Amino acid sequence: MLTQTTATTHITALDWLMIALYFGALATVGWYVVKKGKDSATDYFLAGRNLGWWIIGASIFASNIGSEHIVGLAGSGATSGVAMAHYELHAWCLLVLGWVFVPFYMRSQVFTMPEFLERRFSVQSRYVLSIVSIIMFIISKIAVGIFAGGVVFGALFPQMSLSIGSVTIDSFWIGSVLVIVLTGLYTTLGGMRAVAYNDAVQVVVLIVGSALLTTYGLHKLGGWHELRVLAGSDMFNLWKPLIPAGVQGTWAPVQETNGAGQIVRQAWYFNGNFPWLGMLFCAPIVGLWYWCTDQYIVQRALGAPDQTAARRGSIFAAFLKLFPVYLFIIPGLIAFALAKSGKVAELAHIIGPNGQPNPEASNAVFPLMVQYLLPSGIRGIVVAGLLSALMGSLAGVFNACSTLFTVDLYQKWKADATQHQLVRMGRYATIVMVVVALAWIPVIKNARGLYTYLQSVQGYLAPPIFVVFFFGVFFKRLNAAGALWAMIIGFALGIFRMAVDTPVTLGLAGFENGYTPGSFLWIVNMIYFQYFSVLITIVSAVVMVGVSFATSAPDYGRLRSLTFATTTAEDKLNTRDSWTWKEIAGSALVLICILGSYLYFRG
């Protein structure tokens, strides 16, 4: 039977009514979308290429914030202040998508990023990127969605459980399964159109709800000034992790030891934040890969009817991308200040015995604030938006994986497949992704340090993709052999590092304290992931350039409109006609907001 203690969760009947109404509205939107859809690959995977710019921007934003941003950023704000805002302020990467890559993608009319890579380089490059992308989605994005869903349910409904005989299933399992199954249902039926339109509804609710949470939190605390006083200048300092006090501190690694005095972790970072060299070089590499070349994000832009809609959608998404700093990180800071001041007793556990933030309790900060700060009714709407956001993130992953498998693999194997067969295979692929996600739950539930591990996975696998796409469109001389070997060697390095990290991160038997200090694997594991990511980028770039110039030049006629050097005059004219002063003004506003944030958050 299913049990729940409402006195503990503070979820009232009015909240449940708001949750039911919200999901009823989403179901209505989903039903309308499914009814409107056509039985074609273009409609199922790219929403018929007729998404409006505001839908594109909202869907990009919703896919990004669906899981790790809600759970991870609020927790990060409670433990290390605004340090993680560096990643959010990489909204300028979306401007690169809109101004640099959108013209190439829209002219080529591709369904997937690997398909574009095939046109620029070779079919082998397409296969490699397709397979690696699917694996990356499974071990990173799906895992994050499950973890976030379980944490949110665990925090909002801690006493909820399901008893089947002698087996008791806790709220983490219940939440994870519900999020996965419900998400898989509407993604399977409606495809990209259902995902995009539900994302648009979700974004409005989540932004308004999170803004209300920030407002109620500041009111409870006593205002912004009180927050600055209680949190301290270090928590409001974006520059501290980038520019340490002394040069010696830049290179001296921080070491953590166990009770026996053995070093169990060593990293070049400062006060628990990120190293300035890592943020300066690695973060933009991962950001440009994610926002400009990742199927998970770019598929929304591919659903645009033309360059204008795709570019405006990217600029709108860049503007929305600035909100998480204030919607999730600041509430985390408020939670820390409330716990420090003792004004909300239920948050006291996020402060450790030493008076410092407790990282182990940080993941539940956002849902706990929703539970204890918001009034009944509003709480229900925000909870519904929160759960919907988690579903939206997973929906994007399911849809992206389905598209990659069906278009890049199945359609290649069965070239004569009909449109109906492609849509059917897309649905089958989504169902398989749901099953895979369910199988992940036991691993995710028991993992430790999961969020940092998943961040590092992207740092290990993104560099080769970044190199082949960016070098590919800027330098026409680079050929298929160079791209293929850059990906093979780059991915091999990344997978090797993942294989070294995984048993330590998951705490498998025999690896609780890591490797033997001084051993080769210990050294590899101790190198901070951002530095290793930069190393993979350099190796991939050197391999791509070296192999390309050691082999024959590509057929430049085949590269028409696929690089800057081979873009025709007609292409340039069409691109110029696709934007006006409005796009320039919007992009300038985004850059001004980013600069303003860096200037304000100086401690």
Q: Which of 147-151, 255-259, 293-297, 303-307 has the lowest mean pLDDT?
A: 255-259
- For residue 449, pLDDT over 60 is answered with no
Domain range enclosing 404: 2-600
- For residue 153, pLDDT over 50 is answered with yes
Give the residue carrying structure tokens 């004004």: 343
Give the residue carrying structure tokens 């100086």: 602
Amino acid 603: pLDDT? 62
- Helix 13-36 / helix 378-403 crossing angle, nearest 10 deg: 30
Amino acid 68: pLDDT? 60
Rg (CA), the chain: 24
Amino acid 553: pLDDT? 93
With b for 16 or more beta-carbon neighbours within 10 A and e for fewer, the 516-548 pattern comes to eeeeeebeebbbbbbbbbbebbebbbebbbebb
Q: Which of 175-189, 192-206, 220-234, 487-501 has the lowest mean pLDDT?
A: 175-189
Q: Which of 78-92, 316-330, 472-486 has the lowest mean pLDDT?
A: 78-92
Q: What percent of the chain has pLDDT over 90?
A: 26
Q: How confident is the model at residue 379 (pLDDT cuts 50, 70, 90)?
A: confident
Range picked from 7-21, 233-247, 388-402, 552-566 for highest mean pLDDT: 552-566
Q: If we measure between CA atoms, which residue out of 310, 129, 296, 321 comes closest to residue 207?
A: 321
Amino acid 127: pLDDT? 92
Whole-Å CA distances, 220 to 224, 233, 315, 325, 494 = 11, 21, 35, 20, 46
The CATH code of the domain that includes 261 is: 1.20.1730.10
Note the pLDDT tens digit of each residue in 77-130: 888 778 778 778 889 999 999 999 999 999 988 889 999 999 999 999 999 999
Q: What percent of the chain has pLDDT over 70?
A: 78
Higher-confidence position of 76 and 213: 213
Domain total in the chain: 1
Single pTM value for the model: 0.84
Amino acid 248: pLDDT? 37
